[in-house]
Chains A and B, each alone.
Chain A
Amino acid sequence: MLKTSDRAAFQQLARDELAGLYALARRLTGRDAEDLVQEALLRACRSFTSLRDPQAGGPWLRVILTNVWRDRLRKDSREPTEVSIDDAEGFSLYRTLVDEDPFPYSDTLHLDFLGGFSEDDIHTVLQRLPARYRAPLLLRYMEGFPTKQIARLLELPLGTVLSQLHRGRKLFERALWDYAIESGAINGTAARREDAPWTG
């Protein structure tokens, strides 16, 4: 039930937050991002009167969107229940870069390596991570939610979220490296920074 003044306020809030909501939805789901945003807005509209602090409207909407995503994930049997991270657990991207030395003429090899990834590359790499590891990473580092709030949002024990964050970081590092190799930029031998084909 919305008063006329609430309608205008909700409309403004939703419009202001669309880009951020869509970006989070796209990172979380990789597909159906628009539909996820619509479902979140639908739920938000129904409970808009429960929003007491208008300044908190953005985070409030992103919490709702995360809840919608979480509910959908539980119904989605395509998400694997277990994933092996043995390969990633002992992996250090920084050490690997130092050992492989892909940019022999650079004093800032780690920055050169990371600087070669476009936003689309990062999106692709993130989508390779299982959702259970991708979501805590995004909620923590893209949205800035505290770990305890992420645990509440995902309805998981705090220790589980901390473990997922740790594993997610390892998987992310490993996926970045694998992506660079697949792109032909890194093959274990020296490769010049300007040759990196995963740029642009």
Chain B
Amino acid sequence: MDRVISCSAAVEQLWAFLDHELDDEDQQAVEAHLAFCRRCCGELEFAKHLRRLLAARGTSELPAEVRARLHRFVDELVETAPEGGTP
């Protein structure tokens, strides 16, 4: 029998629930709550979308001139690194 928890307790643990960072009992309690609470399911969907916003890497963020400078930096770094052996 799963433990019954309130909406506020479920919402408080939603991100940890999505991260699978709750212990088994708490994970099951949140899951059981979501099974009957439509409002908290809305919160869950919203939390998933917020996480996607945070996860966005912005692949277009590296400007071409910065990439070129960093490439030159890497080349210089490798060329000037102390020799440690033969291939």
Contacts and interface: CB of A to CB of B under 8 A. Distances in A.
A159 interface: no
A6 interface: yes
A173 B78 contact: no
Interface residues of B, number: 39
A92 B11 contact: yes
A94 B86 contact: no
Interface string B1-32: 00000000001000100010100000000000
Interface in B42-84: 42-43, 45-47, 49-51, 53-62, 66-67, 69-71, 73-75, 77-78, 81-84
Interface in A1-47: 1-8, 10-11, 14-15, 18-20, 22-23, 26, 34, 37-38, 41-42, 45
Contacts of A138: 54
Interface of B: 11, 15, 19, 21, 42-43, 45-47, 49-51, 53-62, 66-67, 69-71, 73-75, 77-78, 81-87
Per DSSP, chain B at the interface is helix
Given A19-B61, A34-B69, A114-B49, A137 B54 contact: yes
A5 B84 contact: no
A93 B19 CA distance: 20
A172 B62 contact: no
B44 to A, nearest CB: 10
A68 to B, nearest CB: 14
Contacts of B21: 147
Given A94-B42, A94-B46, A169-B15, A4 B51 contact: no
Given A23-B61, A42-B77, A117-B53, A6 B66 contact: no
A15 B62 CA distance: 12
A56 B71 CA distance: 21
Contacts of A49: 84
B28 to A, nearest CB: 20
Contacts of B43: 92, 94
Nearest to B80: A45
Nearest to B44: A94
Contact of A4 (B69, B82, B87): B87
Contact of B54 (A8, A93, A166, A172): A172
A165 B71 CA distance: 34
A8 B77 CA distance: 11
A85 to B, nearest CB: 15
Contacts of B51: 141
Contacts of A169: 15, 50
Contacts of B83: 1-4
Interface in A140-179: 140-142, 147, 165-166, 169, 172-173
